[in-house]
Amino acid sequence: MSLDVSPDLLAAAQRGEVDDDAFVACVRESLPYAWDVVSSVAGAAPVPGSPTVHEVPPPSEAARGELLRALASDAIRGGLERHFGVVLAFQNCHRVAAFSPAGIEGADADTFDAFVSPRGQLLNQSPELRDC
């Protein structure tokens, strides 16, 4: 299970009323390590031409799982991007970057494209990250 959903939030979802702030709060409380990583890169206020990248491997398998769940879920990732006003990019088990939305079409376009490309993924491999 990815998120610890309160009965009130679950009831709201069953009625079709899902408040984005409540959803993001659920993510923050359920996935604290992932929240810390994303808030650290997004909180640095990426500006066009200067993406912020987190490259520290998670301290545990549980933390790694949180990061994977947060960034692999379209809903969670989208909620985080809307909340922080960034575009997130992800490689391996730990390399997370935050780009300015304006930057990925301007000053950061080449950097963003390189980060999310197959070439970028391959160049970010190493034996110690094999099982990450």
- Asked if residue 26 belongs to a domain, the reply is no
pLDDT one digit per residue (tens) for the chain, 132 residues: 689 999 999 999 999 989 999 999 999 999 999 999 999 998 876 566 667 888 888 999 999 999 999 999 999 999 999 999 999 998 876 789 888 888 777 767 888 887 777 776 677 666 655 555
pLDDT of residue 82: 95
pLDDT of residue 49: 63
- Asked if residue 36 belongs to a domain, the reply is yes
- Total number of domains constituting the chain: 1
- Asked if residue 42 belongs to a domain, the reply is yes
- Asked if residue 4 belongs to a domain, the reply is no
pLDDT of residue 95: 83
- Asked if residue 120 belongs to a domain, the reply is yes
* pLDDT tens digits, 89-108: 988 767 898 888 887 777 67
Q: Which two tokens stand for residue 20?
A: 């984005």
- Asked if residue 111 belongs to a domain, the reply is yes
d(CA 70, CA 72): 6
Q: Are 96 and 89 in contact (CB under 8 A)?
A: yes
What's the whole-model pTM score?
A: 0.84
Query: 118 lies in which domain range?
Result: 32-126
What contacts 20, CB < 8 A, 6 or more positions away? Answer: 79, 82, 83
10, with CB counted inside 10 A (0-12, 13-18, 19+), is: exposed
Q: What are phi and psi of 98, to 5 degrees?
A: -115, 130
- Asked if residue 5 belongs to a domain, the reply is no
